[in-house]
Amino acid sequence: MFSDYPGNALMRVSLNEIQTLIFKACISIGLPVGISQDASQTAGHVFSRHIGSIQPFADAIFQLDSNSSGPFDAPDAFNGIFRPITTSKALSSLYTTPTVCDQILVRNNNCNSHSSIALRNLDIPAVMIFGIMFITRYIGNDVCISWRIEQNTSINGLCSNGNLIFNRGSFEELYTITNKSVSLDVPNYNSALNHFNTDNVTSSETLDVDSSTWYLLSEYSERLLVPSSDTSRMTGAGAGTVDTD
């Protein structure tokens, strides 16, 4: 992904810093404000539960910015099949996650039986799964959204009540998977959780993040900065033409 970025050290950062940085990084590559906010909120939710969970967001931003991934084909998406507009690119998880989550919420309330959603050649599956994990906070009655990464049957599980639960696999394995198809099963009834194993999670307002991940996100965020000049100050940047504070 972005192995050329320096440093393997861990940095201590706050939840607010992570959310702000991801929001700015998404805006800097041209993502709409709504999608950027969704990514920021999702990252904040999962960051407080597992160290290393910010890396997939940085990977997804890098993929989109390098033109390796792109938006989904809208007509197919209406039928629950999400594929990239062009076959030369992967499906962007950042663009696709909000729409998939909307479909899950609608289907959970309105369908009389299980329904499925298919994601073809998804660039960073972890980002999608994190988004589903986040929205299950707002689905009552312990409803479980099952997910499976195709071509890698060792990784599958479910999202329920804001938690990510693995049937097989772990967070660390999930982070390594790129450009794979993902299938989702959306129920409309209560599901039992007692036969699944929950990965160990932490919950904190400050956690460690890899410095290379932070460095990449900061570079994207800094694209939004306006170079200092008399013109920029006259048009609202900084403190004005005279700054004596």
| Tens digits of pLDDT across the chain (245 residues) | 544 444 457 777 888 898 999 999 999 999 999 999 999 999 999 987 787 789 999 999 999 999 999 999 999 998 899 999 999 999 999 999 999 999 988 876 655 567 899 999 999 999 999 999 999 988 766 788 999 998 766 799 999 989 999 999 999 899 999 999 999 998 865 443 333 444 444 445 556 677 788 778 889 899 888 665 554 444 444 444 444 44
Name the pairing type of β-strands 163-168 and 156-160: antiparallel
**How long a stretch of residues is the chain?**
245
Residues in CB range of 21: below 8 A, 6 or more apart: 214, 217, 218, 221
Residue 200 pLDDT: 44
Residues in CB range of 9: below 8 A, 6 or more apart: 210, 211
- Among residues 188, 68, 183, the alpha carbon closest in space to that of 120 is found at 183
Q: How much is the pTM?
A: 0.80
Residue 205 pLDDT: 52
Residue 86 phi/psi, 5° resolution? -120, 145
| 2 and 58 Cβ atoms separated by less than 8 Å | yes
Residue 10 pLDDT: 74
**What letter does residue 137 receive in the DSSP assignment?**
G
